[in-house]
Chains A and B, each alone.
Chain A
């Protein structure tokens, strides 16, 4: 259809608009074209919306399928008796004695472990290092925790960690394997079959291959060491859960603070005993030089991992609020960085 302009240069509709008259209804051919155009726009929009919705749907379906079929780690926390102490900080030259006094201040191991329960203890055994190099948890601290759990009547006491260096080197060199075995623990050096896939349901980590004892245990006790860490600033209680997870570590470091909190939120330990007998002030997490180690002769114990990490940060000369995983952990409801506001007992040497 062609529409010639008249002598005034206007096409008929424009001439009518200029004269204040309504334009006539468009011929049926033009209406078809408009409807077709509208149909195209509508169809394209619908396809775009549909495709995005389909993408979300498939993504959600994939996640929910795993959530339905994979096991989750149980909540290992024990009920808190009214008026009980939240946190105990003990200083003294005997690492095992510090553990005993800290537990007494909290109400004894019986508050956390009941007769017949299966308990897994998680020290840091990540490194091919001597106890003096302070890259791993102190073997005397770990052994005393084992003795206390055995004395509380646990039916099984497992002790394990997914080492960064080879387990053969780390478990022996750290002195932890020998000390823990002598104290009554079953020490598990992880191999390829030691893991089970579970839900993590975190912001970053949705699922993970976790060491089997942490899936099966009734109670979980975290025994981290305090040390500086090149990427996260520090590694203490919250970061120690990296050692329950198998697979390549590179993926955990892409957003380290969120990953740390994802794993800590998954685990919910019964008790945490923070080892600051010796702390690594620089070149962590590997360390090596004794020049980077400081003797602190301190053990802190409690149920609030964020508070314990906040206290540990002060030993390293750091501000707790400057450590991303502590802030994220507090936001996630895992505890408080205001550890002084808790019911805390401090005992000197």
Chain B
């Protein structure tokens, strides 16, 4: 027995409190069942398998570049109110069940704005930053409607009534019109946007 009252096995002498080894054993033994109990209480779900993403541009810099697409001259079209930015989570609040096909192609961010054409008609401009040209090509190919027509002198672009869709660099762009005047303004807006996508 040493001066602290412990014997050679680390036990306290009789009458001096619980043996240290038992206390340690109980504490260590409690860890796994506590963890299991906590997981059960939380309702354990195995983690979802997330595909590895390509390296993405730094957030703030890419956001600035995305928003800058809406600034300056856009064939006379102007943002009506503001440009909304949507990340992966927010994308569901904008396009609902269409979001996963973007996310699985490493979508980075969406900039969306309601705009008014030079002639005063409403249209919607959605620019998806897909982080990489290969990803924007992939989503363009995925969404390309068989009924839509390719656009002359505008590679990777299709148009349908009330719609103009194209990809350039890491961006995938969907323009939607709500009347004939806005529809006529879509090609000019698309060219102006593409000119900024260097």
Contact = CB atoms under 8 A, between A and B. Distances in A.
A249 interface: yes
Interface in A25-50: 40, 43-44, 47-48, 50
A1 interface: no
Interface in B80-105: 89, 92-101
Given A128-B124, A285-B98, A292 B160 contact: yes
Interface string A221-255: 00000000111100100000010000011101110
Interface string A245-276: 00011101110100000000000000000000
A50 B30 CA distance: 11
Is chain B's binding surface mostly helix, strand, loop or mixed? helix
B162 interface: yes
B43 interface: yes
A138 interface: no
A292 B147 contact: yes
Contacts of B100: 230-231, 253
Interface string B18-54: 0000000110011011101111111100001000000
Interface string B99-132: 1110000000000001000000000100000000
B110 to A, nearest CB: 12
Nearest to B122: A173
Given A59-B40, A248-B89, A229 B163 contact: no
B145 A283 contact: yes
Given A51-B33, A283-B145, A288 B174 contact: yes
A233 B48 CA distance: 21
Nearest to A294: B147
A198 interface: no
A55 B114 contact: no
Interface string A40-74: 10011001101110111011000000000000000
28 contacts: A44-B29, A47-B29, A47-B33, A51-B34, A52-B36, A54-B37, A55-B41, A58-B41, A126-B96, A133-B176, A169-B114, A231-B97, A231-B99, A231-B101, A248-B93, A250-B89, A250-B99, A253-B99, A283-B143, A288-B162, A288-B163, A288-B176, A289-B160, A289-B161, A289-B165, A290-B161, A291-B148, A291-B163
Interface of B: 25-26, 29-30, 32-34, 36-43, 48, 89, 92-101, 114, 124, 143, 145-149, 160-163, 165, 174, 176, 178
